[in-house]
Amino acid sequence: MFGADAYGVELTIDPATAERLVSVGPADVAAASGLTFARNVFVPLTTACRYTCTYCTYYDPPGAASLLSPEEIRNICERGADAGCTEALFTFGDDPDDRYTGIYEQLETLGHDSIHSYLREACEIALECGLLPHSNPGDQTREQMELVADMNASMGVMLETTADVQAHGGPRSKEPGQRIATLAIAGELGVPFTTGILVGIGETARDRAESLLAIAELHERYGHIQEIIVQPVVPNERWQEGSPDLETMRRTTAMARAALPDDVSIQSPPNLAPVADLLDCGIDDLGGVSPVTDDHINPEYAWPALRELEDIAETAGVPLSERLPVYEEYVCSEWLSPEIEAAIDADDEAGRRYRALLG
Ligand SMILES: O=c1nc2n(C[C@H](O)[C@H](O)[C@H](O)CO)c3cc(O)ccc3cc-2c(=O)[nH]1
Ligand SMILES: C[C@H]1O[C@@H](n2cnc3c(N)ncnc32)[C@H](O)[C@@H]1O
Ligand code: SF4
């Protein structure tokens, strides 16, 4: 189903359940009793990407694409730690392909033969600076994820949608089956994981229901999904097909809440979504916000200040609390590597900063 079987992942989505989910609305879900957020810095390792999603302004074509140096990574992480952040968010183009010879030459100069090998070094730098890595490098094979999993507090990839949409078309396209396979690999490797759906890229309400049920089924199998992001596509210079309307965002957010068990958080990104109008749809998290860096994927959409997040929570009448990039339920040896556990337990400034956010 959704091409996932080609990657050895079997899903069994019941059509009647999907149809029922389509008719779920805000009145069918409960508002959350609190809101959380994480304080992060965005580290855009490379703008090279093998895909060309039509909604994305992040990627640069071969020749123009860049790679951050270890010094640049360290500099961003140090600024983040100084500003009280706990998370280094590594998200960047999917595995640059053979067209990006310049990127491979730079990687080679740095002593690496792949972006994942370099990502591991980048995560080590973040940990040294006093930040917990959360990496979203897009699709990953088991070998790629194994190379970096123990250096991450949590990882993620947006499923986007299980539908075959034009927005992912073209000669090199994101495939639902491969995204689902990445989610399954994370489950097998026991990596606390963030995923989500991108709303308004040509999918139907039924597609959204099926995407959410696919995630729910994988969570039922592995228990590793810590949160689901319900993200509206937003216009930019490459995407002029608009953004989903409020009613669609309300219904879809409620759908996500209804599709997933309560232990999975529902995140609404406050720089992209009309969060104040989604508070009764079951959201309980505002994602990673940064006092230091831009949202490099959506640079025209500035992060709200902490004060604005507090206002949102006040409107909802619920407490706002800061969290780590890994949700508290996963802060234990069953889910975290010895390296990440040691960073959280350490008797140093960073360890104290992390532990202050745990109950
Ligand atoms: O700044 C952003 N953070 C994004 N994040 C980061 C997220 O807000 C936080 O890093 C997580 O909540 C973990 O704390 C993502 C993380 C993922 O694993 C998958 C997708 C996203 C998407 C975005 C995004 O578009 N912009
Ligand atoms: C990190 C995530 O950013 C999202 N992403 C990429 N481009 C856009 C856009 N124009 N609007 C909203 N989200 C976007 C994708 O869902 C990707 O997986
Ligand atoms: S959304 Fe990610 S995979 Fe798609 S083009 Fe942008 S960087 Fe590449």
The residue ranges of the chain whose pLDDT is under 70 are none
| pLDDT recorded at residue 253 | 98
| pLDDT recorded at residue 97 | 86
Say how many C-beta atoms besides its own lie within 10 A of residue 101's C-beta.
11
Would you say the CB of residue 234 lies under 6 angstroms from ligand 2?
Answer: yes
Given a contact cutoff of 8 angstroms between Cβ atoms, the answer to whether 273 and 21 are in contact is no
Beta-carbon contacts of 182 under 8 Å, excluding residues fewer than 6 positions away, are 138, 139, 140, 145, 157
Residue 71 lies in a domain: no
Of 153, 238, 256, give the one whose Cα is nearest residue 198: 256
| Domain count across the chain | 1
- Residues 115 and 48: their CA atoms lie apart, in Å, by 10
Rounded to the nearest angstrom, the distance between the alpha carbon of 90 and the centre of ligand 3 is 13
Give the domain CATH number at 277. 3.20.20
Would you say the CB of residue 160 lies under 6 angstroms from ligand 2?
Answer: yes
Would you say the CB of residue 135 lies under 6 angstroms from ligand 2?
Answer: no
Residue 168 lies in a domain: yes
Residue 66 lies in a domain: no
Would you say the CB of residue 91 lies under 6 angstroms from ligand 2?
Answer: yes
Residue 194 lies in a domain: yes
Residue with tokens 């059509």: 15
Of 151, 57, 47, 42, give the one whose Cα is nearest residue 106: 47
| pLDDT recorded at residue 214 | 98
| pLDDT recorded at residue 304 | 86
Residue 55 lies in a domain: no
Residue 31 lies in a domain: yes
pLDDT digit string, tens, across residues 50-72: 999 999 999 999 999 999 999 99
The verdict on pTM exceeding 0.95 is yes
Residue 92 lies in a domain: no
| pLDDT recorded at residue 343 | 98
Ligand approaching nearest to the C-alpha of 199: 2
Would you say the CB of residue 229 lies under 6 angstroms from ligand 2?
Answer: no
Q: In the structure encoding, which two tokens stand for residue 253, read together?
A: 């957010």
Q: Domain residues for 169? A: 4-39+138-358
Q: Whose CA is nearest to atom 17 of ligand 1?
A: 156
Mutate to test the pocket of ligand 1, among 229, 289, 303, 331 (most ligand atoms within 8 A of CB): 229
Asked whether the CA dihedral 68, 324, 227, 28 is positive or negative, the reply is negative
- Residues 128 and 185: their CA atoms lie apart, in Å, by 27
